[in-house]
Structure 1
Amino acid sequence: MDAVERLLAIEEIKQLKSRYFRYLDTKDWIGIRSIFADDAVFDARMSFNVDGHGESGRAAESNDWIYEGGDRIADFIKDAVGHSRTVHHGHCHEIEILSDDEARGVIAMEDQIWDADGQILTLHGCGHYHETYRRLNGRWQVQTSRISRLYVSLGDMAV
């Protein structure tokens, strides 16, 4: 891959992740499904806590959240936030091209989730997505994705 091809691949991956955030917040479930490879793996164990080992309540709910397959991942995301107002921001994309069709990256993120009426903030979090990407038939998709958290506030409870 020459320098221009590498830069184009990096930009395509950045656009892929940007679409993920937009599709998530606009509840475009068909779009969300298009982000993930058919055999993708999504590790969401740190969705509600900073170490993947929540001890009680909502923080403990996510301890086992590992999903395999693009359809299952899209269904999980829809079930998790489909009735909530959400705002997700991705920042500081670090993308490394490994080969013509493989890459990995870390994307800083911040998310806020409100109840269905948009009145009560139920989650505010900051952290990173650690991902691998695969290009198939000229199109990049997420192959693996893992959320890590630096900060999570669940309502009145900061973690």
Structure 2
Amino acid sequence: MDDLSKLVAVESIRKVKATYWYALDTKDWARFEALFTENTIIDMREEAYFAEGKPVPEMSSTQEAAAAGEAGITIGRRAFVARLSTALSTWRTVHHGHAPIIDIDSADEARAIWPLFDYIDDGNRVLKGYGHYHETYQKQSDGRWLISSLRLSRLRGDGTHPILGSRVHAEDSAR
């Protein structure tokens, strides 16, 4: 790929992620679902440990965990959106991402790490979270870039995690 093609790809991927956060926070689930490949792999294993206030152990790769059917892995965009839209139906969320590291690996494959800040409020508990999204992207035959895998890792949390109600402190989730 020439430099101009790489820049266009990077900007396209930035737009995908900006749309991700907008659709997630506004609960526009049709727009959100359209950002993922049909068989996307979503890895939220670390989030489960974080929600319980436990240190994250060494883990297998997302692809290995998906092949083994491990808990915390969701395969398929419809399954992911169904799970997320149910969990967040009454929550207010704000997601921000900044200064991504985007690598264009080929004409149709890319990787990105997105620094993350999120504010999650279920009406009773509030969490301010900090971490990273680790993602892969695939360029489709129509030219669109879509998220093909996503793994969330947390570095810090302030507040109470809405999923399990565990009080999360920075030192609990530090890696």
TM range (shorter): 0.7 to 0.9
Mark the CA change 1:32 to 1:45 in structure 2 (over 3 Å): closer, same or farther.
Answer: same
Could you list the runs of 4 or more consecutive aligned residues of structure 1 that deviate by over 4 angstroms after TM superposition? 50-53
Residues in 2 aligned to 1:21 and 1:28: alpha-carbon distance in whole angstroms? 10
Residues in 2 aligned to 1:7 and 1:121: alpha-carbon distance in whole angstroms? 41
Q: CA deviation at 1:154?
A: 4.4
Give the counterpart letter for 1:107 in structure 2: W
**Runs of 5+ in structure 2 lacking a partner?**
58-69, 161-166
Instruction: Select the structure that is richer in strand.
Output: 1
Residues in 1 aligned to 2:145 and 2:159: alpha-carbon distance in whole angstroms? 33
TM-score computed with the length of structure 2 as normaliser: 0.78
| More displaced stretch, 43-52 vs 21-30 | 43-52
1:112–1:121 Cα contact (<8 Å) kept: no
**Runs of 5+ in structure 1 lacking a partner?**
54-62
Give the counterpart letter for 2:74 in structure 1: Y
CA-atom RMSD, angstroms? 1.8
The one of 73, 77, 94 equivalent to 2:101 is 94
Residues in 2 aligned to 1:74 and 1:52: alpha-carbon distance in whole angstroms? 25
Give the counterpart letter for 1:110 in structure 2: F
> Identity over aligned residues, as a percent?
36
**Alignment deviations for residues 10-34 of structure 1 (CA, whole Å, 9 cap, x no partner):** 0000110010000000000001101
TM-score computed with the length of structure 1 as normaliser: 0.85
Give the paired residue count: 147
The one of 98, 114, 118 equivalent to 2:121 is 114
